[in-house]
Structure 1
């Protein structure tokens, strides 16, 4: 994820309070279950696992209305670059988890979260795992083990139907070289 971009998009929507209200209304989440101070997730934010599950379900339905799914907008573990690139990357599990991580090393004495969708031989399952007050690396190990255990209980991991499409994202004030050798600075 790009925290800078998340903050700018949040600003365009009216700031963290407005983002929270949009999420609360669209996903039918009680205000006390989704309280954010930043649009990026950095800092002290309070979201319950139940609220995150409702958000995932709402998001999945909205994507389906637009003929999309989670693999179109979130990283696929073991395949895409990012925080899930090195997770679930065995031949057995690669491509079977799509999700979003969250990591705060200092807030609440260490926070790690993982939410998304897993694919098993018996179908797909949404999941939310929030850990706090401990070692982020241990939390990640626990998350990996729990997801793998669930997949095992449901017949084993199965790769999602997914076609990797690499995107080259550039922020303002970057140099772009075009094929005809012109150079332009985005501002």
Structure 2
């Protein structure tokens, strides 16, 4: 089995192509994964890119491959769980996130995870508290902080009495919400399902 990893400079160039939305980023990352199939950083980049271009089944496989290679890759585990959550796979998302509970109490991902669990329960006050704590602790991943701020912004919109989300629900009682929830867990996301679907599957 190949054990060598991609050098940091090449990895950084691939990540930069992805961040810039370069048309050749997908092919470049795919080629690196072929060359370094056991580098979980590359399969994580590949998974994120696949989400961005809408190849969700392939993204699922790339995330699973990443965690098979590096079960303790905390950011990849969080993002895979978020991907599952926004896809309506609530129970699976919570299962994937489980090992993150072993992170230190002060780790920003613990706070993000606690906020996501509150979101599943429609505990919006808890979401805000945990996300704000995560943002204050996270000094390494500003794109994730931006995602959390966007979620908080949309949360504020979602709970306003006369907001766009609320009007959508009033005009289409039950239809959209039911389509966003897995059949086996019809109440698992409730109000959070609409918020997450509107947010989409951005991954950083």
TM over 0.5: no
Which has the larger strand fraction?
1
TM-score (normalizing by structure 2): 0.28
Q: Which protein has greater RCO, CA pairs closer than 8 Å, 6+ apart?
A: 2
